[in-house]
Amino acid sequence: MYQARHNIIVELPRLCDYVCDLLLEESNVQPVSTPVTVCGDIHGQGDFVDRGYYSLETFTYLLVLKAKWPDRITLLRGNHESRQITQVYGFYDECQTKYGNANAWRYCTKVFDMLTVAALMDEQILCVHGGLSPDIKTLDQIRTIERNQEIPHKGAFCDLVWSDPEDVDTWAISPRGAGWLFGAKVTNEGHCNCSSDSEGILDVDDCDQRTGQCSCLMGYTGLQCEDCEEGYFTNSTNICLPCACDSFGAVNHLCDSSGICVCKTGVYGPRCDECHPGFFHFSSTGCRPCQCHNHTNNCDPQSGVCLNCEGNTQGSNCEECKSGFYRSPGSAPIEACAPCPCSNSTSTGTCHTNPSGSPACDKCLPRYKGPQCDQCSAGFYKASGVCVPCECNGNADPQGPTELCQPDTGHCLRCNNKTTGPQCQLCAPGFIGDARAHNCTRPTPRLIPIPANTTTTEVPTPSTSSPSMPTTSTTLTSATTRGVLVATSSSNMSTTLSTAATTQALLTSLSSPTDNTTAALTEVSWTQFNIIILAVIILVVLLLLGFVGGVYTYREYQNRKLNAPFWTIELKEDNISFSSYHDSIPNADVSGLLEDEANEVAPNGQLALTTQGNCYKA
């Protein structure tokens, strides 16, 4: 026994606190569904407390049941569940006697203040501990009572726990000093109160006298038709409206007080009658998600075609790239498309991926080429970022490269029609004319006539009496043509050049072809012209060599004349002596070398032997 009492003292505070938390969640009018067993006024042997020796054990047992099955046990407050009454009718003394203090009493009275005051079975039968109150006409008035307190001595709260039914007409004062006595007439009036302002009452005179149920319009329920039936809502008014939930899109036909139905997956709207954004194909199973590869959340609610594709995509499922965009091979459809590296000024702006995975333009505009249409086509070059035609003045070689000109500078690669220059705008060396007019030609060669006045000067040839002396003859021919002296020399080595005829055949002039003093001109080829020029050069070199040889021969002749040996004969008494002199005569008079003198006999009797025209004086 001691152990049991000790456990109650230890566990009772925790039990009371736990049940208080449960009671806080209950309404003043707690709904109860049948079947149900109703027990009332057991007074310790059946009531909660008072007038019985086991009040504490009874109430503790009820608290354990409430803690174990909170939805199946409903405890209503009575007139003895108060501090004042329990101190008079024995519960306080019982706790004091059993445990030596009032702690258990205090724990239990804390629970008393939390107990609900009424129960409504199947929304038809009202259960209270005491009775009715003249201050209460509706259940809502009971719901507004502040019950978490000590029971007052009067008022609606007091009447519900102290009033008693009695065989009286209407209301009478209770001899107990609290509550009222009421008769059947009051009960019937309370049951059939169909004259209220409820919008749901069909007929104020039509009432069930047994239950007090008024006749309600469709969609209304409650004794006085004050509530809406399932499938109806008030929408913040006193009128019950049908929920009108779609049979396909809604989970059921019910809605909340604002008329919003509970929708299936992918369905939305107050009536659940359309697909939620991001879903399509409304059916009895709900709506299916849009298949747009995460590029949009919207699609046509009927067909499922994606709308407003992002990421530069298009197509019924946003699976394709827009024109001017591409996606690398192997990329997932959820990846965005990148812009094509193709300018609209050089290409159509669209592209594809080549086998290497790099983007390549679909089609280049005229003048452009390359994978990205950023290069100039043959016959064009880039100027200020734009490909323009090569400017070769129509002189580009058709047999040359197809590019015609450098792609960066525009300089022509190969010129034709005897032209040259960056744009083939000049005549090639050796040609004259207008390259842009395509008339570059060689200068016309012409023959130079031989002058009529040609003088020949012949220098006398000195000779010696010696037969071994070489004979050299020099002929100086002077041909004056535009102030040019042409000299030729002939010797015994057969160095003889005929200048007159050769000069007439080879020398050319670039003077006007209309000169009346020139002979007729003959058109020659470029090779022939080069051969003629080479022959003229060789002729000039030979002429110079001949001139130098003539001068050299003449000087040798003069030296030999001065250094020629001579013989002297001395007549002595018995013999004749010969002597030869080879040295030059010092201080000789050169002017006398060319004079013709007669042979003389020296005054000294010596005989000098000299050749004609070559006499020396001793």
Catalytic residue set: 80
Contacts of 294 (CB under 8 A, 6+ apart): 334
CA distance 63 to 46: 14
Structural tokens at position 588: 């000789």
Phi, psi of 32 (to 5 degrees): -135, 135
Task: Assess contact for 393 and 436: CB atoms under 8 A.
Answer: yes
CA angle 78, 111, 23 (to 5 degrees): 90
Task: Please list the residues that pair with 380 across neighbouring strands.
Answer: 389
Contacts of 291 (CB under 8 A, 6+ apart): 299, 304, 306, 317
Q: Exposed, middle or buried by CB within 10 Å (0-12, 13-18, 19+), for 342?
A: buried
Q: Which amino acid is at 225?
A: C
H-helix or E-strand containing 562? helix 526-562
CA distance 598 to 549: 34
Q: Exposed, middle or buried by CB within 10 Å (0-12, 13-18, 19+), for 94?
A: buried
CA distance 612 to 462: 10
CA distance 122 to 129: 18
**Around 266, how many Cα atoms within 13 Å sit in the side-chain half-sphere?**
20
180-182 and 164-165 strand pairing:
parallel
Supply the Cα-derived Rg of the chain in whole angstroms: 74
